[in-house]
Amino acid sequence: MKTQLRLLLFTIALTVLIWTYADRAGHETSTITVPVTIAPADPDSPLVFRIINARPDEPNVKRIKMRFRGPKSNIRLLETEYGYGGFALTVPIADDLTPGRKSRNLLADLSRLPEITKRGLTLDSISPEAVEFDVDRYLGIPVEVKPVPGAFEEDLDGKPIVEPQKVEARVLESEIEGPIVPAVLPLLLEDAIAEELRERPGETGDALTFDAPLPSTWRGVEAIFRPDHVTVTLRLKRHTVIEHIAPIQLGVLVKPQDFFSKYEIEWLDKTGAHLTQDVEVRVPIEKRDEVRAIHVRNIDAYVRIYHDDLPQESSATESPVLLREVQFVFPPGFEDVKPREPLPRVEFRIKRKLPAAGAAPSPGPS
Protein backbone atom coordinates (compact mmCIF):
# COMPACT_ATOMS: atom_id res chain seq x y z
CA MET A 1 0.00 0.00 0.00
CA LYS A 2 2.82 2.37 0.90
CA THR A 3 4.59 1.49 -2.31
CA GLN A 4 1.53 2.34 -4.35
CA LEU A 5 1.14 5.67 -2.54
CA ARG A 6 4.77 6.58 -3.21
CA LEU A 7 4.30 5.69 -6.86
CA LEU A 8 1.18 7.88 -7.09
CA LEU A 9 2.93 10.87 -5.53
CA PHE A 10 5.91 10.42 -7.82
CA THR A 11 3.60 10.30 -10.84
CA ILE A 12 1.84 13.51 -9.78
CA ALA A 13 5.13 15.34 -9.22
CA LEU A 14 6.46 14.17 -12.58
CA THR A 15 3.28 15.30 -14.32
CA VAL A 16 3.48 18.78 -12.76
CA LEU A 17 7.13 19.01 -13.79
CA ILE A 18 6.30 18.01 -17.34
CA TRP A 19 3.44 20.53 -17.52
CA THR A 20 5.65 23.28 -16.13
CA TYR A 21 8.41 22.51 -18.63
CA ALA A 22 5.93 22.38 -21.51
CA ASP A 23 4.39 25.65 -20.43
CA ARG A 24 7.77 27.37 -20.20
CA ALA A 25 8.84 25.91 -23.51
CA GLY A 26 5.78 27.45 -25.18
CA HIS A 27 6.50 30.93 -23.76
CA GLU A 28 9.16 33.50 -24.47
CA THR A 29 10.08 37.09 -23.60
CA SER A 30 10.44 40.28 -25.61
CA THR A 31 11.91 43.65 -24.62
CA ILE A 32 10.66 46.78 -26.37
CA THR A 33 10.62 50.52 -25.60
CA VAL A 34 7.06 51.82 -25.31
CA PRO A 35 5.80 55.44 -25.16
CA VAL A 36 3.83 55.74 -21.93
CA THR A 37 1.46 58.66 -21.30
CA ILE A 38 0.45 59.61 -17.78
CA ALA A 39 -2.87 61.41 -17.49
CA PRO A 40 -5.65 62.01 -14.96
CA ALA A 41 -8.19 59.19 -14.92
CA ASP A 42 -10.99 61.75 -15.07
CA PRO A 43 -10.96 63.50 -18.50
CA ASP A 44 -12.57 66.57 -16.89
CA SER A 45 -9.90 66.82 -14.20
CA PRO A 46 -8.21 70.23 -13.92
CA LEU A 47 -4.85 68.52 -13.28
CA VAL A 48 -2.00 68.65 -15.80
CA PHE A 49 1.10 66.43 -15.70
CA ARG A 50 4.52 67.36 -17.10
CA ILE A 51 7.23 64.69 -16.99
CA ILE A 52 10.70 65.94 -16.11
CA ASN A 53 12.98 66.17 -19.19
CA ALA A 54 10.15 65.18 -21.54
CA ARG A 55 10.03 66.42 -25.11
CA PRO A 56 8.28 69.82 -25.41
CA ASP A 57 5.75 68.41 -27.90
CA GLU A 58 4.99 65.43 -25.59
CA PRO A 59 5.16 66.87 -22.06
CA ASN A 60 3.40 63.93 -20.40
CA VAL A 61 5.01 61.04 -22.34
CA LYS A 62 7.90 58.86 -21.13
CA ARG A 63 9.59 56.15 -23.21
CA ILE A 64 10.03 53.08 -21.01
CA LYS A 65 11.87 49.83 -21.76
CA MET A 66 9.54 46.89 -20.95
CA ARG A 67 10.19 43.15 -20.74
CA PHE A 68 7.10 41.11 -21.61
CA ARG A 69 6.51 37.37 -21.13
CA GLY A 70 3.80 35.29 -22.78
CA PRO A 71 2.90 32.67 -25.38
CA LYS A 72 5.03 32.85 -28.50
CA SER A 73 2.09 33.72 -30.74
CA ASN A 74 1.03 36.58 -28.44
CA ILE A 75 4.59 37.89 -28.30
CA ARG A 76 4.77 37.83 -32.12
CA LEU A 77 1.52 39.83 -32.39
CA LEU A 78 2.86 42.38 -29.91
CA GLU A 79 6.12 42.76 -31.82
CA THR A 80 4.26 43.16 -35.10
CA GLU A 81 2.03 45.88 -33.71
CA TYR A 82 5.02 47.59 -32.14
CA GLY A 83 6.88 47.44 -35.45
CA TYR A 84 4.08 49.38 -37.12
CA GLY A 85 4.24 52.02 -34.38
CA GLY A 86 0.79 51.18 -33.05
CA PHE A 87 1.64 50.10 -29.52
CA ALA A 88 1.51 52.79 -26.83
CA LEU A 89 0.15 52.82 -23.30
CA THR A 90 -1.60 55.33 -21.07
CA VAL A 91 -1.49 55.17 -17.29
CA PRO A 92 -4.62 56.78 -15.79
CA ILE A 93 -3.88 58.29 -12.39
CA ALA A 94 -6.93 58.55 -10.16
CA ASP A 95 -5.10 59.97 -7.14
CA ASP A 96 -6.15 63.46 -6.01
CA LEU A 97 -2.70 65.00 -6.38
CA THR A 98 -1.72 68.48 -5.25
CA PRO A 99 0.42 70.79 -7.41
CA GLY A 100 4.17 70.19 -7.14
CA ARG A 101 6.94 67.69 -7.99
CA LYS A 102 5.92 64.00 -7.74
CA SER A 103 7.55 60.57 -8.21
CA ARG A 104 5.66 57.39 -9.09
CA ASN A 105 6.62 53.75 -9.61
CA LEU A 106 4.78 52.66 -12.76
CA LEU A 107 5.39 48.88 -12.68
CA ALA A 108 2.15 48.06 -10.83
CA ASP A 109 0.15 50.61 -12.88
CA LEU A 110 1.38 49.16 -16.16
CA SER A 111 1.05 45.49 -15.14
CA ARG A 112 -2.71 45.75 -14.66
CA LEU A 113 -3.48 47.64 -17.86
CA PRO A 114 -5.98 45.72 -20.06
CA GLU A 115 -3.80 46.42 -23.09
CA ILE A 116 -1.32 43.97 -21.53
CA THR A 117 -3.49 41.47 -19.63
CA LYS A 118 -5.97 40.93 -22.49
CA ARG A 119 -3.06 39.95 -24.73
CA GLY A 120 -2.24 37.11 -22.35
CA LEU A 121 1.04 38.79 -21.42
CA THR A 122 2.74 39.60 -18.16
CA LEU A 123 5.12 42.44 -17.51
CA ASP A 124 8.37 41.15 -15.96
CA SER A 125 10.23 44.43 -15.54
CA ILE A 126 10.48 48.05 -16.71
CA SER A 127 13.28 50.57 -16.90
CA PRO A 128 13.15 53.11 -15.45
CA GLU A 129 10.65 51.94 -12.85
CA ALA A 130 9.85 55.41 -11.47
CA VAL A 131 8.97 58.61 -13.28
CA GLU A 132 9.25 62.15 -11.95
CA PHE A 133 6.68 64.71 -13.02
CA ASP A 134 5.27 68.09 -12.08
CA VAL A 135 1.59 68.46 -11.25
CA ASP A 136 -0.18 71.67 -12.23
CA ARG A 137 -3.85 72.50 -12.43
CA TYR A 138 -6.16 74.73 -14.41
CA LEU A 139 -8.01 77.50 -12.63
CA GLY A 140 -11.35 78.73 -13.97
CA ILE A 141 -11.47 82.54 -13.81
CA PRO A 142 -14.58 84.55 -14.82
CA VAL A 143 -13.48 87.16 -17.36
CA GLU A 144 -15.36 90.13 -18.82
CA VAL A 145 -15.01 90.49 -22.60
CA LYS A 146 -14.29 94.09 -23.64
CA PRO A 147 -14.72 94.68 -27.41
CA VAL A 148 -12.12 96.97 -29.01
CA PRO A 149 -13.18 98.18 -32.52
CA GLY A 150 -9.80 99.82 -33.22
CA ALA A 151 -9.79 102.01 -36.33
CA PHE A 152 -13.57 101.59 -36.70
CA GLU A 153 -14.39 103.17 -33.34
CA GLU A 154 -15.40 106.55 -34.81
CA ASP A 155 -17.52 104.85 -37.46
CA LEU A 156 -19.75 103.00 -35.00
CA ASP A 157 -23.20 104.05 -33.87
CA GLY A 158 -22.79 103.18 -30.20
CA LYS A 159 -20.61 100.46 -28.70
CA PRO A 160 -20.36 96.84 -29.87
CA ILE A 161 -22.42 94.31 -27.92
CA VAL A 162 -20.93 90.90 -27.14
CA GLU A 163 -22.82 87.81 -26.01
CA PRO A 164 -21.96 86.33 -23.60
CA GLN A 165 -20.39 89.28 -21.83
CA LYS A 166 -18.44 87.01 -19.46
CA VAL A 167 -16.53 83.82 -20.23
CA GLU A 168 -14.35 81.46 -18.23
CA ALA A 169 -10.59 81.59 -18.75
CA ARG A 170 -8.80 78.35 -17.85
CA VAL A 171 -5.17 79.13 -17.03
CA LEU A 172 -2.53 77.10 -15.24
CA GLU A 173 -2.07 77.96 -11.58
CA SER A 174 1.72 78.12 -12.01
CA GLU A 175 1.35 80.86 -14.65
CA ILE A 176 -0.64 83.23 -12.44
CA GLU A 177 1.29 85.77 -10.39
CA GLY A 178 -0.68 87.71 -7.80
CA PRO A 179 -4.39 88.60 -7.77
CA ILE A 180 -6.19 89.18 -11.08
CA VAL A 181 -8.14 92.42 -10.73
CA PRO A 182 -9.87 93.38 -12.91
CA ALA A 183 -10.38 90.22 -14.96
CA VAL A 184 -10.90 91.73 -18.41
CA LEU A 185 -10.21 90.29 -21.88
CA PRO A 186 -9.70 92.97 -24.58
CA LEU A 187 -11.13 91.58 -27.82
CA LEU A 188 -9.68 93.25 -30.93
CA LEU A 189 -12.38 93.51 -33.61
CA GLU A 190 -10.78 95.64 -36.33
CA ASP A 191 -9.82 92.76 -38.64
CA ALA A 192 -13.11 90.93 -38.03
CA ILE A 193 -15.17 94.04 -38.88
CA ALA A 194 -13.15 94.63 -42.05
CA GLU A 195 -13.65 91.01 -43.11
CA GLU A 196 -17.40 91.19 -42.49
CA LEU A 197 -17.69 94.37 -44.55
CA ARG A 198 -15.80 92.78 -47.43
CA GLU A 199 -18.05 89.73 -47.42
CA ARG A 200 -21.37 91.44 -46.65
CA PRO A 201 -21.39 95.09 -47.72
CA GLY A 202 -24.57 96.87 -46.68
CA GLU A 203 -26.16 100.26 -46.25
CA THR A 204 -25.34 102.78 -43.57
CA GLY A 205 -27.10 101.89 -40.33
CA ASP A 206 -27.25 98.15 -41.04
CA ALA A 207 -26.42 95.98 -38.05
CA LEU A 208 -23.53 93.55 -38.37
CA THR A 209 -23.65 90.33 -36.34
CA PHE A 210 -20.82 87.82 -36.44
CA ASP A 211 -18.95 85.31 -34.29
CA ALA A 212 -15.53 86.37 -33.03
CA PRO A 213 -13.09 83.68 -31.81
CA LEU A 214 -11.37 84.36 -28.52
CA PRO A 215 -7.57 84.43 -28.45
CA SER A 216 -5.38 81.61 -27.16
CA THR A 217 -3.53 83.83 -24.70
CA TRP A 218 -4.55 86.14 -21.88
CA ARG A 219 -2.31 88.42 -19.82
CA GLY A 220 0.70 86.93 -21.59
CA VAL A 221 -0.04 83.26 -20.76
CA GLU A 222 -1.79 80.45 -22.61
CA ALA A 223 -5.50 80.27 -21.87
CA ILE A 224 -8.47 78.12 -22.83
CA PHE A 225 -11.74 80.04 -22.99
CA ARG A 226 -15.18 78.55 -22.46
CA PRO A 227 -16.96 79.22 -24.70
CA ASP A 228 -14.19 79.76 -27.27
CA HIS A 229 -16.06 82.53 -29.14
CA VAL A 230 -18.57 85.33 -28.60
CA THR A 231 -21.26 86.82 -30.83
CA VAL A 232 -20.70 90.48 -31.71
CA THR A 233 -23.41 92.90 -32.82
CA LEU A 234 -22.62 96.47 -33.92
CA ARG A 235 -24.05 99.22 -36.07
CA LEU A 236 -22.07 101.49 -38.40
CA LYS A 237 -22.79 105.18 -38.89
CA ARG A 238 -21.26 104.97 -42.37
CA HIS A 239 -19.64 102.42 -44.61
CA THR A 240 -17.24 104.76 -46.43
CA VAL A 241 -14.83 107.47 -45.39
CA ILE A 242 -13.11 110.32 -47.24
CA GLU A 243 -9.32 110.19 -47.61
CA HIS A 244 -7.07 112.90 -49.01
CA ILE A 245 -4.21 111.73 -51.26
CA ALA A 246 -1.38 114.01 -52.44
CA PRO A 247 0.76 114.77 -54.34
CA ILE A 248 0.16 112.68 -57.47
CA GLN A 249 2.26 113.34 -60.57
CA LEU A 250 0.13 114.51 -63.52
CA GLY A 251 0.61 112.84 -66.89
CA VAL A 252 -1.07 112.89 -70.30
CA LEU A 253 -2.67 110.13 -72.35
CA VAL A 254 -2.47 110.98 -76.03
CA LYS A 255 -4.32 109.42 -78.94
CA PRO A 256 -2.52 111.07 -81.94
CA GLN A 257 0.58 109.25 -83.06
CA ASP A 258 3.93 111.05 -82.93
CA PHE A 259 2.28 113.71 -80.76
CA PHE A 260 5.38 114.78 -78.89
CA SER A 261 7.48 115.03 -82.04
CA LYS A 262 5.09 117.61 -83.55
CA TYR A 263 3.31 119.30 -80.63
CA GLU A 264 3.90 120.55 -77.13
CA ILE A 265 1.58 121.39 -74.26
CA GLU A 266 1.37 124.87 -72.78
CA TRP A 267 -0.02 124.65 -69.28
CA LEU A 268 -1.85 127.85 -68.44
CA ASP A 269 -1.22 127.57 -64.69
CA LYS A 270 2.18 129.25 -64.65
CA THR A 271 2.80 128.28 -61.02
CA GLY A 272 3.37 124.66 -62.01
CA ALA A 273 0.93 123.48 -59.33
CA HIS A 274 -1.00 121.59 -61.99
CA LEU A 275 1.88 119.15 -62.46
CA THR A 276 0.91 117.41 -59.22
CA GLN A 277 -2.65 116.74 -58.18
CA ASP A 278 -4.47 116.30 -54.89
CA VAL A 279 -7.59 114.21 -54.78
CA GLU A 280 -10.20 113.25 -52.21
CA VAL A 281 -11.48 109.71 -52.55
CA ARG A 282 -14.37 107.82 -51.03
CA VAL A 283 -13.01 104.63 -49.47
CA PRO A 284 -14.80 101.59 -47.99
CA ILE A 285 -13.89 101.84 -44.33
CA GLU A 286 -12.49 98.32 -44.30
CA LYS A 287 -9.83 99.49 -46.83
CA ARG A 288 -8.90 102.74 -45.12
CA ASP A 289 -5.54 101.55 -43.83
CA GLU A 290 -4.70 99.87 -47.15
CA VAL A 291 -5.41 103.08 -49.08
CA ARG A 292 -3.25 105.09 -46.70
CA ALA A 293 -0.42 102.67 -47.37
CA ILE A 294 -0.54 103.11 -51.19
CA HIS A 295 2.52 104.95 -52.51
CA VAL A 296 1.51 107.88 -54.72
CA ARG A 297 3.79 106.59 -57.49
CA ASN A 298 1.34 103.68 -57.86
CA ILE A 299 -1.60 106.01 -58.59
CA ASP A 300 -2.01 107.37 -62.12
CA ALA A 301 -3.38 110.89 -62.70
CA TYR A 302 -3.72 112.04 -66.29
CA VAL A 303 -5.63 114.12 -68.84
CA ARG A 304 -6.64 112.76 -72.23
CA ILE A 305 -5.67 114.43 -75.48
CA TYR A 306 -7.63 113.51 -78.60
CA HIS A 307 -7.02 114.12 -82.30
CA ASP A 308 -9.69 116.82 -82.34
CA ASP A 309 -7.77 118.79 -79.70
CA LEU A 310 -4.92 119.52 -82.15
CA PRO A 311 -4.66 122.86 -84.03
CA GLN A 312 -6.99 122.22 -86.97
CA GLU A 313 -6.02 124.92 -89.45
CA SER A 314 -2.78 124.48 -91.30
CA SER A 315 -1.91 128.06 -90.45
CA ALA A 316 -2.85 127.74 -86.76
CA THR A 317 0.05 127.40 -84.38
CA GLU A 318 -1.99 126.56 -81.27
CA SER A 319 -5.32 125.11 -80.22
CA PRO A 320 -8.04 126.93 -78.28
CA VAL A 321 -7.81 126.78 -74.49
CA LEU A 322 -8.78 123.30 -73.32
CA LEU A 323 -10.34 122.61 -69.90
CA ARG A 324 -10.03 118.94 -69.05
CA GLU A 325 -10.89 116.79 -66.01
CA VAL A 326 -8.08 114.82 -64.41
CA GLN A 327 -8.67 111.06 -64.42
CA PHE A 328 -7.33 108.79 -61.65
CA VAL A 329 -6.49 105.09 -61.78
CA PHE A 330 -5.70 103.12 -58.62
CA PRO A 331 -3.74 99.86 -58.43
CA PRO A 332 -5.47 96.47 -58.89
CA GLY A 333 -7.61 95.59 -55.90
CA PHE A 334 -8.72 99.20 -55.33
CA GLU A 335 -11.41 99.44 -58.01
CA ASP A 336 -13.95 100.39 -55.30
CA VAL A 337 -11.98 103.53 -54.37
CA LYS A 338 -13.76 106.44 -56.09
CA PRO A 339 -12.63 110.08 -56.42
CA ARG A 340 -15.09 112.63 -55.05
CA GLU A 341 -16.89 114.90 -57.48
CA PRO A 342 -16.13 117.37 -58.90
CA LEU A 343 -12.85 116.09 -60.27
CA PRO A 344 -9.98 118.59 -60.49
CA ARG A 345 -9.52 120.33 -63.85
CA VAL A 346 -6.55 121.79 -65.65
CA GLU A 347 -6.30 124.37 -68.49
CA PHE A 348 -3.84 124.00 -71.34
CA ARG A 349 -3.23 124.64 -75.04
CA ILE A 350 -1.62 122.42 -77.61
CA LYS A 351 0.99 124.24 -79.69
CA ARG A 352 2.54 123.18 -82.93
CA LYS A 353 6.32 122.90 -82.69
CA LEU A 354 8.16 125.34 -84.93
CA PRO A 355 10.49 123.70 -87.46
CA ALA A 356 14.20 124.03 -86.83
CA ALA A 357 16.03 126.64 -88.90
CA GLY A 358 16.56 125.40 -92.48
CA ALA A 359 14.09 122.51 -92.10
CA ALA A 360 11.02 122.13 -94.29
CA PRO A 361 7.73 123.01 -92.54
CA SER A 362 5.67 120.05 -91.29
CA PRO A 363 2.33 119.51 -93.01
CA GLY A 364 -0.81 120.26 -90.97
CA PRO A 365 -3.13 117.53 -89.78
CA SER A 366 -5.25 115.97 -92.44
Highest mean pLDDT among 16-25, 30-39, 74-83, 174-183: 30-39
Measured torsion, CA atoms of residues 182, 183, 187, 188, in degrees rounded to the nearest 10: 40
CB 157 within 8 A of CB 235: yes
Q: Is the pLDDT of residue 22 over 70?
A: no
From CA 344, how far away is CA 350, in angstroms rounded? 19
Q: pLDDT for 147-190, tens place per residue?
A: 999 878 877 888 999 999 999 999 998 888 777 767 899 999 98
Do 131 and 38 form a contact (C-beta atoms < 8 A)?
A: yes
23 burial via Cβ count (<10 Å: 0-12, 13-18, 19+): exposed
CATH, domain range 240-352: 2.170.120.30
7-16, 89-98, 186-195, 267-276: the lowest-pLDDT one: 7-16
Give me the mean pLDDT over the 91-118 stretch.
Answer: 91
Instruction: Write the CB contacts of 5 (distance below 8 Å, at least 6 apart in sequence).
Output: none
* pLDDT at res. 202: 52
Task: Find the distance separating the first CA and the last CA of the chain, reported in whole Å.
Answer: 148
Mean pLDDT of 39-57: 92
Across the range 53-75, mean pLDDT stands at 92
Average pLDDT on 135-153 reads 90
**Running DSSP on this structure, what letter comes out for residue 95?**
S
> 226 falls in which pLDDT band (50, 70, 90)?
very high
The architecture CATH gives domain 138-235: Beta Complex (2.170)
Judged by DSSP in three states, 271 sits in: coil
Residue 358 has pLDDT above 70, yes or no: no
CA separation, residue 97 to residues 49, 91, 135 (Å): 10, 15, 7
**Whole-angstrom distance, CA of residue 193 vs CA of residue 335:** 20
Q: pLDDT class for 199, splitting at 50, 70, 90?
A: confident
Lowest mean pLDDT among 51-60, 130-139, 290-299: 290-299
Q: Whole-angstrom Cα distance, residue 169 to residue 218?
A: 8
Rounded Cα–Cα distance for residues 241 and 118 (Å): 71
Largest CA distance in the chain: 157
**CATH topology agreement for domains 138-235 and 240-352:** yes
Lowest-pLDDT choice from 66-70, 205-209, 257-261: 205-209
What average pLDDT does the chain have?
84
**Domain regions of the chain by residue span:** 24-128, 138-235, 240-352
pLDDT of residue 285: 79
Q: Are 140 and 169 in contact (CB under 8 A)?
A: yes
pLDDT(365) > 50: no
More confident residue, 291 or 272: 291
- Which region holds residue 170: left if phi is over 0, alpha if psi is between -120 and 50, else beta? beta
